[in-house]
Each structure stands twice: as structure tokens, then as C-alpha cells.
Structure 1
Amino acid sequence: MPTRPLLERIDADWRRVRPGLDPTPMRRIILLARTAAQLARAVEQVQGHHGLNSAQADLLFTLYRSAPAEGLTPGDLAALSAITPASITNRLDTLTERGLISRETDPADARSRRVQLTAAGRDRVEALLPDHLRNEQRLLSTLSEPEQTELERLLLKLVVGMEGREES
């Protein structure tokens, strides 16, 4: 069901079964979740055209933008990306098998590894990046530039507030 009729139905259903209940918070969370899901699908579609899923693309983008010449440790890579540390090893294995990254022993600490983009990995990022950014701009284009700035401000406020509550 399209989002607008779904939200209207949810409101009507709650008014029917619990007339005094305000379902606004539920409606807003559903709206955020549906928005996030649609954005994820649209982003993954473009990344898929380049032979990557979102997690793989995120790791490659992180290495491209953040890694020094010696690379990043898997822990640093996890901290700088949207990937959880628990799921990073499998993704690194896949990217290594595909020749997009390399993992070398850290010369300063033989117990540690450094992850780096290979030439093929750098080429993949440089091919994906223009399509990725064009797609993301298209996804946001329904909003004016000031609206996009306000959306970013509000979402950052929301997530920072939730992160603060998690630490308490």
C-alpha cells in the first residue's frame, strides 16, 4: 500500500479501536522506516549495477576517502564506515577474493592487519562514485536545497539525541 493511504488507514484504525490514543509517533516512525527502506533499495540498485552491495560499496568508499597510504586496520575501517565490526570480516574476505582490497600485516604490529584498496578497487570506486552521487541527488531532488539542509539538521538532531540516550 502506498505510504500516504497507509498512514491515513493507520490513523483511522487507531481512532476506531482507541479513540483517545494519539498515533502520531507511530506514524512518524513508520514514515522514517519506509523512507529509509526506499532509499536503501534505490542506492543498492545503482551499486548493484557496479557489482557491489551496499556494505561492500561503503567499505570501498571508506577506504577511498579515509585510508592513509598504509591502509586502515579492520577496527578503524569499521569505526569509519556504516558496517558493524561483527560483520566486517566476511565482507573483507569477499572484497579480498574479488581483488578489490588487500590485507597486509602491519609492519609496526605483526598481530594487526592493514586493509588497502587495490588498483581494481580504486577503479571500481571511481566508476561507481559519479553514478552513486547522481542517484543520491536524484533521490533528494524532491526537496529544495534549503529543505535538504533542514532535513539533515533535523535527522542529525534526532540521531544524536538517540545516541545520547543509548550511552545513559
Structure 2
Amino acid sequence: MTPTTDHVDAITTQWRAERPDLDVSPMQVIGRLHRLADRLREELLAVYARHGLGEGEFDVLAALRRAGEPFAVAPGELARHTMVTSGAVTKRVDRLVASGLVERDDDADDGRARVVRLTPAGRRVIDGAFTAHMANEQRLLVGLDPAQRRELEALLRTWGASLGV
């Protein structure tokens, strides 16, 4: 491979030779995105781990922090904000309760309902983790200039909308 070719180019070249009847050009996009997603996930998880968090715990803490004072959200809302099932949220919250980063509490507006609330320790952890997360994302995007980032953002938004995500 040369500096202007990569692993995906090698694979598509092989497929073109073996299956010239097929248009394998979508692999140029999908293959690269798949490889990038795998690498990005590794890089993101490493930052979460340095703060004692897994991806799920980070998501819950971030959703609570984004909610603003009093940093409390109903479990069903957490499921919607983190795009996982209520069962998955329960497991994540259980782990965070055990570590003292969140607590379950009565909803101040509805005494029958419960909320998950960020503890002061949880706020310190998510503030530190989120700061590191943003620095990491900046680092991961350093290969693109600002115009390229805006263009990629617009392309991904358009493509995502066409796929309903």
C-alpha cells in the first residue's frame, strides 16, 4: 500500500478482480466508516476507563449532567436519552448507585415517581470525564481542518437523516 491507499483500497481491488460484475464502491465508504468506528470506540473507551467508567455509565452520568440542576431524571427518560432499554438503564444505574455516583430518590413533583439523581461525587466524576472526553475528541479530529469537519458533519447529518438515525 502507498500513502494514498489503505486497507479498504486493497480489499476493494481484490473484489473487483474476483467479482467484476459487482459495484464494490460502497465499501470505500462503509468499510472505512466501520474501521473508523472501531478505532474511535477504542479511543473513547480508554478515556472513560481512566475515570473508572464504562460506556454505559458515562452515558447515564452525561445525561444526568446535561439535564441541569437538580441533575435528576426519571429512569424512563434516561432510557430515551441513552437509547437503551429500561432494563439496561436499571443495570447501569445499579452500578452507579453502588459506586456512589448516583442515587435513587423520590420525584419532588410526583411523590409516587422515582428519579435518578447525580451525587456530588458523580458530578465531579462526569465533569472530569467529560472534559477529558472533549479533549480526546478534539485530538481524534486533528487530521481534519475546520472546513473538512463542517463538511463531514453536514454529510453525516444528511446521510443519517436519510437512514432515520
TM-score by length of 2: 0.88
Worse-matched range after superposition: 129-138 or 92-101: 129-138
Which residue matches 2:91? 90
Unmatched runs of 5 consecutive residues or more in structure 1: none
What does 1:15-34 correspond to in 2, within 5 Å?
Answer: 15-34=16-35
Aligned residue type for 1:59: V
Whether the aligned pair in 1 keeps the contact of 2:104 and 2:116 (CA below 8 Å) is yes
Residues 79-117 of structure 1 deviation map (CA, whole Å, 9 limit, x = unaligned): 12354444211111100110000111324151x320110
Which residue matches 2:65? 64
Whether the aligned pair in 1 keeps the contact of 2:12 and 2:27 (CA below 8 Å) is no
What does 1:1-168 correspond to in 2, within 5 Å?
Answer: 4-69=5-70, 71-107=72-108, 108-110=110-112, 112-163=113-164
- CA 1:44–1:94 in structure 2 vs 1: closer, same or farther (change >3 Å)? same
Whether the aligned pair in 1 keeps the contact of 2:48 and 2:55 (CA below 8 Å) is yes
Task: Name the % identity.
Answer: 34
- Greater helix fraction, Structure 1 or Structure 2: 1
- CA 1:50–1:70 in structure 2 vs 1: closer, same or farther (change >3 Å)? closer
SS of corresponding position for 1:103: strand
Whether the aligned pair in 1 keeps the contact of 2:71 and 2:118 (CA below 8 Å) is no
Aligned pairs, how many? Answer: 161
Q: Distance in 2 between matches of 1:24 and 1:67?
A: 45
Q: Distance in 1 between matches of 2:72 and 2:42?
A: 30
Q: Distance in 2 between matches of 1:123 and 1:68?
A: 14
RMSD: 2.0
Aligned residue type for 1:22: D
Unmatched runs of 5 consecutive residues or more in structure 2: none
SS of corresponding position for 1:22: coil
Whether the aligned pair in 1 keeps the contact of 2:9 and 2:28 (CA below 8 Å) is no
